[in-house]
């Protein structure tokens, strides 16, 4: 997945970071204090809390 400016990871350093935060809520305030746009996900363990099922669903793109 590249475009004429090179792979995305090379462009990351030249672009503004916008963040989706999944987990520790404390990171949200820190990022906002530094002027970074961030959306916090109201996360709960998926697949009824079964890690193996959650991994499988993620692999299947669910």
Partner 1 sequence: MNVVVLNEVRKGFYLDSVALMRLSREVAGAPGVIEAALMMGTPSNAAIMRNAGLLEEGTAVKGNDLVIAVKAESETAAREALDNAIKSLDKPKSQGEAQSAWRPHSIAAAVKNRPEINLALISVPGEFAAAEARKALNRGLHVLMFSDNVSLEDELSLKQQARAAGLLMMGPDCGTAVLGGAPLAFANKLTRGRIGIVGASGTGTQEVSCLISEAGAGISHAIGVGGRDLKKDIGGITTLMAIDAFDSDPETDHVVLISKPPHPDVAKSVLQRIGKSKKFFTVCFIGASEVELPPNARFSPTLKGAAELALGHQKIGADFDTNAVASRIPRNGRGGIEGLFAGGTLCAEAQVILAAAGRKVASNAAIPGVLKLGVEPNDGRDRLIDLGDDEYTRGRPHPMIDPSVRDEALRAALRNGDLSVILLDLVLGYGAHADPAEHLTRIVADRGRDAPVLIASVVGTEQDPQGRSAQVRKLEQAGILVAPSNAQACELAVAIVQNAGR
CA torsion through residues 24, 32, 13, 59, sign: positive
Question: Using the rule CB under 8 A, is 4 a contact of partner 1?
Answer: no
Distance of CA 19 to the CA centre of its chain: 6
CB of 31 vs partner 1, minimal distance in Å: 7
Question: Using the rule CB under 8 A, is 61 a contact of partner 1?
Answer: yes
CB of 27 vs partner 1, minimal distance in Å: 6
Non-local (6+) Cβ contacts of 57 within 8 A are 46, 47
> Where along the sequence are the contacts to partner 1 (CB under 8 A)?
1-2, 6-10, 12-34, 36-46, 48-51, 54-55, 57-59, 61
């Amino acid at each position: 997945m590249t475009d004429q400016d090179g792979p995305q990871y090379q462009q990351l350093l030249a672009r503004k970071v916008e963040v989706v935060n999944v987990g520790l809520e404390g990171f949200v305030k820190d990022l906002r204090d530094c002027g970074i746009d961030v959306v916090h996900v109201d996360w709960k363990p998926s697949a009824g809390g079964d890690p193996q099922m959650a991994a499988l669903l993620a692999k299947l793109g669910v």
